[in-house]
Structures are given as structure tokens and as C-alpha cells.
Amino acid sequence: MSKKILVTGGTGYIGSHTVVELQNAGYEVIIVDNLDNSNIRILDQITKISGIKPQFYQLDLSEENKVIELAKAHPEISGVIHFAAHKAVGESVQLPLKYYRNNFFSLINLLTAFAGREVDFVFSSSCTVYGQPDQLPVTESAPVKKAESPYGNTKQVAEEILQETAEANTNYHVISLRYFNPVGAHASALIGELPIGVPQNLVPFITQSAIGKRGPITVFGDDYNTPDGSCIRDYIHVVDLAKAHVAAIKLLEDNRTIKYDVFNVGTGKGSSVLETIKAFESATGVKLNYKIGPRRAGDIEQVWGDVTKSAKELHWKAELGLDEMMRSAWAWEQYIAENPFE
């Protein structure tokens, strides 16, 4: 009998790609999502790719009784991958209580509901916990700096909650994956990033601008201390990122001595905003209209990850480059234009 994994936020961007990779690896998947920031049609798209329709519950994880009922109904669940969270940095500054209530209550309710059984738990964390690192590339042992936003703070505190819970509860085995910047889409172009409203991230704004849905791209600052003056990020293909979650579940299954551990999930290489724009033009043959604007408050100058530990202990490394990230993101944007979800 295949092992069953609960994926919260499984119809979202990273969640949906991870569901596909789990199914490809032979796992059964149960998805929980309140559809607050995703679309129910993603279930059908997952089924088209994998040939397997995952079990689905529309449920708000901040409702403790419903989470407990779900856990009781599925004693066979052996692992949880937790994506479900509010994630807009700007909104979190305006509505901090919304973020603290949702992101903490959902995590605490999950940990409470599964506390009575042995469970492998993989948490969706972020490189935002490092702030602007003192040294690059940043390693997992770098200090966690004061968060720049309530959203970033929820990631930091959630890691602390998980570590302390795992140390106090012998049933829990936990890995936090600190992502860098996920971009791209599945090779089938059937799932990808589906931002609601104006995209806050660079690549979906690039593709929406390229297809005519948005105006010119603004590059926020060209006077940073970087080779071309624009900010540098470690972009990682979402399919590589999804595979890292499967690797984390397998590591926890194989190594029962792990109580709590963290891993960087990136490529180990930084790309600037201007390099990324040029990579899109090169990969797709589509010319972009962009302009230089002032720096944006809260932007970190440059960050990319040291992924040595992930390669050595997680037995995972990114395989897809920036060109493939851009090509797949563009194919998805074209698919959505022809097959709108709304």
C-alpha cells in the first residue's frame, strides 16, 4: 500500500506542482485548500498531468475542530506538507493580525490534530528568514535576522514552533525548506503561477506584460552594488522545488533520527532583474518593454543560497536553468490566455 501524504494548500502554485511530483513518486495525496488564493480547476489540471485525481477537501485550517475531524478520518496519513498560508508581503504590513491569525492557527491546529501519531512534517519556509545576509552565498547556519514584514515573521516563528514541538513530541519528524525564488511552470503548461490581481513577483509580471495584460515592467532601482545595478535573486524552477519536497519526505522516512532540520532550496546562483529580463527575451524571442524606476522599500539588494547541505544530505539539487524557467512560464501564460480559469 502506498503511503498517504496530506498537502495543505495543494491547489496553489508550489502545492500543485508538489502534488504531481508526489504522485509520480508513488504517493497517494490528500489535498486540503480553502481556495482563498487558488482555483478548483487546478484539480482537473493535476489529473490531466498525472492520470490520478487526488482526494480533495475544501477546508479552512484555522478551524481547529475541522482539522481534528480530518485527521481522525484519515489515520493512514503518514506525512504532511504544509503550504497553506497567506503570503503577500505588502498586505501583511497593512493587515498583520490577518497573517498572524491564519498562518499560526493553521500550523498549530495541524500539529495538534496529528500529535498522537508518528508523522513526517515538511514546512514551506523562506529565505526571507535571512534578511540581507552578511555573507553570500547564505548557508543554513547564517543568523536569522529580524523580519522585514509580518509575513516574514510568521515564517520565522513557525520554524521555532516546529522545532520546539518536534523536540517535545517524539512522534514528529520535521524539515523546514527555505525556498529562494520559485518561478516557471510544469512542462505540460497545464499548471503554473496564477497570481490574483497585479503580480507582486517579477516573472509573472514579465509574462503578463509580454502577453499585453500589463504595461511596461518597472525595474526597481539600477544603482545597487551589483554588476548591473539591479537586485539579485536565486531563482529556482518550481518543478525542482516540488521535487525537493518529495526528497524531504523520503529523507524523513529513511532517517528516523531526524527531529528537526532546515535546508536551503535554490540553485546556488544569483541572477539580476535585468539578467532575468534578458533571459526571457532570449528564451522566447519576445521583446519586453521595461523602464528603470526608483528603489522599492523593503527590497533586499542581493541574496542567493549555498545548497551544499541539500545536495549532500537531502540528496537533491536543482536541474533546470533560467532559460527553462522563462520558457515554461511563457508557455503557461499563453495557455491561460487561451484557456482562462476565471
Residues labelled as active-site residues: 151
Report d(CA 48, CA 50) in Å as an integer: 6
> Is there a contact between 228 and 222 (Cβ–Cβ < 8 Å)?
yes
DSSP 44-65: HHHHHHHS-PPEEEE--TT-HH
Comparing C-alpha atoms, which of 68, 138, 152, 45 is closest to residue 103?
152
> Is there a contact between 27 and 5 (Cβ–Cβ < 8 Å)?
yes
Report d(CA 271, CA 228) in Å as an integer: 10
Torsion of CA 298, 299, 304, 309, to 10 degrees: 20
Q: Which residues contact 302 (CB under 8 A, 6 or more apart)?
A: 132, 136, 224, 226, 231, 232, 233, 270
Comparing C-alpha atoms, which of 181, 145, 138 is closest to residue 273?
181
Report d(CA 279, CA 143) in Å as an integer: 32
10 Å CB burial of residue 25 (0-12, 13-18, 19+) is: middle
